[in-house]
Every structure is written in C-alpha cells, then in structure tokens.
Amino acid sequence: MTAPPIVIDSDTASDDAVAIAMALRHSNADVLAITTVAGNCSVEQATRNALYTAELCHSDVPVFEGSAAPLSVPPEFATWFHGRDGLGDRGYPPPARAAERTDGVTALIDVIRSHPGCTLVTLGPLTNVALALSREPALVGDVGRCVVMGGTNNSVGNVTPAAEFNLWFDPHAARAVFAAGLPIEMAGWDLCRGHAGLTVAEQRELAAASTLGRFFVECNAKAIEAIAEQSGSERLELPDPTAMAVALERDRVVLRSSRHHVEVEAASTLTRGMSVVDSLDVTGRAPNTEVIWEIDVDRFKQMLVDAATA
C-alpha cells in the first residue's frame, strides 16, 4: 500500500540530515518538500545543509527556507552540539542547488493544502508550523499525521533539566502547535537514548556501509563528542532519525504508545519548553497527542543501514 506523502520541517543539522536521508531513500516514501527553520543553526545554514543532504541522496526534492528566529525569544543555536555549520565542521562543499523562492511558511501551507492527508514530520523547533497554523487554522484538517521530534516523556531534558531542545528553542510556537488540534505523534528525546544509541561498533559498521553511511557518522562527529561530555555515553544518539522511523514505519517501529493531553510550558524560565504529559490523565483533559514510549530498536538501526545502502 502506498503511504501518504511526507513534508519535512527541519533545522537541518547532523541528525536531521540522517533523518532526511532515511525518508529520501525509503522504498515507500514520497517526500514532497523540505522546509527549513532556525534551531540547531541559522536558517540559512539549515537550508544549505538540507540541500547538501538531498544532493548526497540524488534527490531534487524542493527545499524552502523558513523562519530565521523563534516567535518571541532570541535564537540560541546548538553549535556546541552540531558544530558551527551544523554538520560537525567537516568542511562539506556548498550545495549545487539553491532553495526555492517561496518562503517556508507559505510552502508548508501550499503543499499541505494541496495534499490533504499527508504526513508532516517536524525535526526542529515548531516556528514554521505555528506560523502556518496562525495564517491558516484549517490546515489542521489537512494533516493526516504530524510526527513531532520534540519534548521528553516526563523525563530529563537535554538543554535544561526540564526541556528538550526543539520545544525549548521556541516554546511559544510549541505551545501553540500542541494546542492546535493536529494529530500529533510525539517522538520525545527519550526514544533515542539507551539501546537506541549506536555503539562504537555500530557506528563503524554504518560508516563502512557506503559513502552515505560514512556521512551519517562523520557529520555527527561533534555530536558524538558532545553526547560523551554531557552524558558519559559513547553511543551516537539520533533523535530525528527515531522520529523519522516512526513516521516511515509506525506499525513496525512503535512498540508502545498511548494517547494523553500534552501541554508545553512557555511562561516559566525554569521549565521553559517542558512537555508536560498527563500520563495518568489526572487533568481529565482530552488527549491531544499520541505519546510514543518505546520503539523497536533493532528495526530502527536496520532502517539506518538500509538508508545507507539502498
């Protein structure tokens, strides 16, 4: 059965690049467009990285440049994690192609509207999506699935003790998007940790699989160092690829999920960007999110190898 087409919104840096390649090289995926957003790096850099990744995948998917800054807070990029260029400062050449003329927010509206039932996969801060929904609230009804890499399932954050980077970077956008009524499937940061992280041996195996496999690991070199420093783990954790695995093969990949009300904190300093999952349904508020608790780690890792070798 043909899967609904996909639109990817991404602050394209190292793990985003791997996720984008997974989609572009999947046998049952039709990627309609990539829209870029500021987050890991500037939006201009994210656009270059998305174009470069598409080029490595021999794809001419259109790339549209979106928002340069969060709605209400100043941008604070994650160069300490992904490198100044977002791809580990390996000196990759500029892409051959340029972005489309249409801006990312307009493109999101146009592409989703003209493909009702499509799957929206968000790999970065939710600024573009929030702006698109504020311009076109009816867009909610055209999105078949909205897979969000963001938040944590009531566990530790990676940028503050309470918050995951994508929701923290633009908390106001995240709050609006979670409240908008989209069919959200939340792939929190937790999913990429523990056994889902690639061991050193698995990193070597992936890098040896193909030129693209080598790119997957090399562009994450800075991330590998940052993970080791932050959490003492030698594993390569890949948050966006776990979300993409859910988007591409939900039935095989998702082992445990349940529906809950999720609200994002935007007012507090201490808990800015925190995804508060009402996992015991104590508020009685209607669920707005399918929260993913567990994925099939073996299938996820096989999907990475498949993307490298397809």
Q: Considering only 1-9, 11-19, 46-54, 280-288, which stretch makes contact with ligand BDR by CB under 6 A?
A: 11-19
Residues 15-34, interacting with ligand BDR (CB under 6 A): 15-16
Contact between 227 and ligand BDR per CB under 6 A: no
Rounded to the nearest 10 degrees, how much is the dihedral formed by the CA atoms of 43, 48, 53, 58?
Answer: 130
Site for ligand BDR in 90-129 (CB under 6 A): 123-124
Rounded-to-integer distance, Cα 42 and Cα 30, Å: 27
CA-nearest of 279, 267, 56, 2 to 153 is 279
Helix (H, G, I), strand (E, B) or coil at 233: coil
Which one of Ca ion, ligand BDR, none interacts with residue 239, CB within 5 to 8 A by kind? Answer: ligand BDR
Kindly provide the b/e burial profile for residues 50-81, where b requires at least 16 CB atoms within 10 angstroms of the residue's own CB: bbbbbebbebebbbbbbbebbbebebebbbeb
What residues contact residue 284 under an 8 Å CB cut-off, 6+ apart? none
Q: Can residue 290 be called a binding residue for ligand BDR (CB under 6 A)?
A: no
Q: Which is nearer to ligand BDR, 16 or 85 (CB)?
A: 16
Binding to Ca ion (CB under 5 A) within 13-72 occurs at 16
> Can you tell me which of 63, 130, 149, 180 binds ligand BDR, judged by CB under 6 A?
149
190 binds ligand BDR (CB under 6 A): no
Scanning 8-16, 21-29, 90-98, 276-284 for contacts with ligand BDR by CB under 6 A, the matching segment is 8-16
Residue count of the chain, please give it.
310
78 binds, among ligand BDR, Ca ion, none (CB under 5 to 8 A by kind): ligand BDR
**Sites of contact with ligand BDR (CB under 6 A):** 13, 15-16, 40, 78, 81, 123-124, 149, 158, 164-166, 189, 239-240
